Structures are given as C-alpha cells and as structure tokens.
Amino acid sequence: MENKHGHIEQNRARIWQIGLFSLNNTSTNLFLAMMGYVSYYANGIAGLSVVLISVILTGMRIFDGVTDPVIGYFIDKTNGKYGKFRPYIVIGYLLMAISSLVLFFTTSLVPVILRPLYFIIVYSVYIIGYTFQTAVVKSGQSVITNDMKQRPMITFFDSTFIMFAHGLVAFYVSVYLIEKYKTFQSQALFSEFVITVVIAAGICSALAVIGIWDKDNVKYFKLDEDKKQQIHFRDYAAIIKHNKPIRMLVIAAASNKFAQMVYGNSTVLVMLYGILMQNYPLAGIIGIIVGIPNLGIIYLGIEHAKRCGQKKTLVRSTYLAIIFQTILMFMMIFSDLTNVSLRHINFITVAFLLVFTLLNGVKSISNNIVVPMIADCTDYEYTLSGHFVPGIMGALFSFIDKSFSALGTGFVGIALAIAGYSKVFPQVEDPLTPQLKFLTIFFYCIIPIIGWIVTIFIMRFYKLDKNTMKGLYKK
C-alpha cells in the first residue's frame, strides 16, 4: 500500500494504562446495562405504554447517533490545558449521573400528561452525557497505543470488564433486587438500582482519567500540529468517500450491534430465563459462573489477534458465534430448558452451560474487537490524507453504529406489540405459550445469526489485515 503521508511513529503504553482507560468503556456500559431496564420503569412505574416507550427509546438512540459527529468534531478541535479527552470523560459522567438520578426518582411524580415529554427531555440529557463519554471510548485509544501487539489488549480489557459489568448488573437485578422487591413495578427497586450504578460508574470514570492522563497531551496528537491542517465538518463526507475500511467496519459493526441490542434486550432476557426456563435468577448467576471460562476464551482470541491480525480474529470469532448460537437454538426448540438447574446438575445443565460459555466468549471477542479496529482506520486515514482525526473517526463509527442499532430496541417493542403485548411487557411470572417460545427463539437466536452472516460478508471488503497494517508504521 502506498502511504501518501509517510509512516507513523510507534507509540506504546504500559499495560496498566490500557487497563485503566478501558474502565471508561465499563462506566458507560454500567449505565447502558441499567438503562436496559428503563422500559420496565417507564412502563410499570411511569405508566407509558409498550409502543410509546419503544418508539421513544428508538428515537433517543437515533438522537444519540446524531450527537456523535458533533462531539467528535469538538474532540478533534480540543487541545487545552486538561487535554483532549479527559474533559469529555468527566463531563459525560456528570451528565449521565445527574440525569439518571432525576429520571428514576422524579418521572413518576410528574403529571401524567407531561410524563412523555419530561421523560424525553431528561433522557436527552443522559444521551448527551453518554455521547461525551463513549466518543472517548472510540477515539482515545488512538493515543493510548498504536502498537499492533498492544491494540488487541484493548479488546481483552474491554471484553473482560464489559462482561463483568453486564454480568454483575444482571446478577444484582435478578438475584438481589427482584428477590428483595419481588417485581419490576417497584419505585424502591429502581431508586436503589440507580444509586448503585452511579457510584460504581463514577469509580470507573475516575480510574479511566488516571489511565489516559499521561497520554492525553499534545505529544501524542501532534500530528495535527505538524500538518497545520484545519478540520471541518465536511471532512466527514470526504472520509466516508475515500476511506473504504471505515465504511466496511461501521456496516459490519452496525449489523453486530443490532443483533446485540435484540438478544441483550432486558425483555428478551426475561422471556428466556423467566418464562422459557422459569428460572429468572439464573440470568444473573450464569454470568458469574461462566465469567472465568470466558476470560480464557477471550485470552485465546487476543493471542490469535496478535498472531493473525484483528480482521481475521473478528471473522473467525463470528463464524464460531453462528455455530454455537445454532446449537443453542436447537436446544431451545427440542429440549426442556426448565430442567437446567444449578442445584441438581444433569446432562442438559452441563450442555447448556458449555454451549453458553463458548457462545458468550466468542461474542465478547466479535463485539469488542471492532473498537481497536477503529484506531487502525484512524491511522490508515492519516496515511491517506494527513489528518489525525480520532474524534471524527470514532464519531463517524458511532453515528452509523447507533443509528442502526437503534432499530434493535424498537424492533423488539413493536414485534411484542404486534404479538399482543401493547400495554405491558412480558413479566417473569407469565406462563409460556407457543407464541412466546417462538418470539424468544426469534429474538435470541435467529436475529443474531442473520446479523453475523451480514458481518462476515461485509468483512470480505475490509482490507486492513495484519500485513496491510504493518506497512503503516515505522520500525
């Protein structure tokens, strides 16, 4: 590959810097995991209908994507006393923390006729804060390290921390909160929930600031100063036009994210564990059980990425996800998963845990390895145009990613409404019907498989493999 603007100086990080910075992603995922239950709050406590809350959340997700290019633009323009990235971490966390507390504590107190508008306004503030912090997730990695053997470590830490964040939240809700309050239709449940998340996410954000502190200075984004080039909004269109790898990556990642937003939807998990398996506490417990084995799978994936490159690792982990998801689908169709029990270990329990562990391990790799691949596209963009624009690249990725994934939340809500759940979401205590069983399999298995097939096809046109990336850097 011909580099129009020469090679890029290598920049390595200490492992602890990569690890602590990854907690920024953990912070946003703690809020994301909590907001996965906001539909139950809005429906059960605030009294909004299933269709209305689904439409609102879909619209808010699209708004989330629209704000990304704006924040990304300002990140690339920022070069002040406190760095390029740290201010956005702190401001983003504060906006999310304050708006979350206001949302869960006060929405039900507002007059009924004003609740939808009030919910939208407060949730919009949360979205802006979320965009501030997630924009740093996608762009800050570009200054942390550009070493080909270190970038996969970002995937390792992200996958590990996100797995534990979502796993612990699921455990906290299904084992502790539901046991304590008995139902999602409890204001006290959500009050305790939001306070816990705000504290935990605050600790993660503070550690992330420490992790990026030394790298967040002009020394590591001096490329802009050397080139003396101005950055404009029109650069988004130029990048989309001439940077094919970022086009392919965002389409592949958007397909993955749509699938993830469907199978990870809190209502779908209630349908799987609470109704199909009739054991909702298992939703939290199983995440803890498979946590350590998943770390081993993620570690193997990272070692594969170091040897074979990130593109090949994404493709192969996605193939494996399709295989294991298909096996799980057949188990859901032909087996009685109510027999899965941690108290009375039997064959179906062992088989389910084995397949579930392998599936979640490879999903963690395929879902998270796209993040350091954005940094590859950022470096590639510099060799093409001379622009070092991690903010724009990360925001461009997030904009398309969130816009497509927004459809996931709306898709679940509208499909459930068509199936007869227009007023109330399926509850843990609901009986299993053939219709609910089909919908559970459709949401949890069929949609992800289709999404992953699209990802594999699109990655055929992504050219930043290991050999191509080697040509970008000075030895």
Domain CATH number, residue 373: 1.20.1250.20
**The pLDDT of residue 6:** 53
**Choice between 473 and 342, residue whose per-residue pLDDT is larger:** 342
* Per-residue model confidence as pLDDT tens digits over 431-466: 999 999 999 999 999 999 999 999 999 999 999 888
The token duo for 409 is: 């939340």
**The pLDDT of residue 215:** 79
For the chain, the domain total comes to: 1
Whats the size of the chain, residue-wise? 475
Given pLDDT bands bounded at 50, 70 and 90, which one contains residue 358? very high
Give the pLDDT mean for 179-184: 87
**Choice between 396 and 261, residue whose per-residue pLDDT is larger:** 261
Give the pLDDT mean for 243-260: 89
Mean pLDDT for all residues in the chain = 87
In a domain, 2, yes or no: no
**Choice between 203 and 149, residue whose per-residue pLDDT is larger:** 203
Confidence check: pLDDT of 190 > 90: yes
In a domain, 179, yes or no: yes
The token duo for 301 is: 């994936």
* Per-residue model confidence as pLDDT tens digits over 283-342: 888 878 888 888 899 899 989 998 999 999 999 999 999 999 999 999 999 999 999 988
Lowest mean pLDDT segment, chosen from 69-78, 187-196, 279-288, 316-325: 69-78
The answer for residues whose C-beta is within 8 angstroms of residue 460's C-beta and 6 or more apart is none
* Per-residue model confidence as pLDDT tens digits over 2-31: 444 555 666 777 999 999 999 999 999 999
- Phi and psi at residue 474, to the nearest 5°: -75, 145
Give the pLDDT mean for 408-426: 85
Lowest mean pLDDT segment, chosen from 87-101, 209-223, 375-389: 209-223
> Do 155 and 300 contact (CB within 8 A), yes or no?
no
**The pLDDT of residue 385:** 77
In a domain, 6, yes or no: no
**Choice between 225 and 297, residue whose per-residue pLDDT is larger:** 297
* DSSP codes of every residue in 335-400: S-GGG--SSS--HHHHHHHHHHHHHHHHHHHHHHTHHHHHHHHHHHHHHHHS---HHHHHHHHHHH
Q: Which amino acid is at 92?
A: G
In a domain, 10, yes or no: no
Give the pLDDT mean for 181-204: 94
Sign, Cα dihedral of 115, 119, 121, 122: positive
In a domain, 354, yes or no: yes
Please count the CA atoms within 13 angstroms of the CA of 15 that sit on its side-chain side. 4
3-state secondary structure of 262: helix
In a domain, 9, yes or no: no
Please name every residue paired with 83 in a beta bridge, in sequence order, or none if there are none. 80
Whole-number Å distance between alpha carbons of 391 and 384: 17
Boundaries of domain holding 427: 15-470
> Do 358 and 326 contact (CB within 8 A), yes or no?
no
> Do 122 and 74 contact (CB within 8 A), yes or no?
no
**Choice between 225 and 244, residue whose per-residue pLDDT is larger:** 244
Please count the CA atoms within 13 angstroms of the CA of 276 that sit on its side-chain side. 27
In a domain, 213, yes or no: yes
Given pLDDT bands bounded at 50, 70 and 90, which one contains residue 228? very low
**The pLDDT of residue 344:** 84
In a domain, 55, yes or no: yes
Report helix, strand and coil shares of the chain as percent, to nearest 5: 80, 0, 20
**The pLDDT of residue 233:** 64
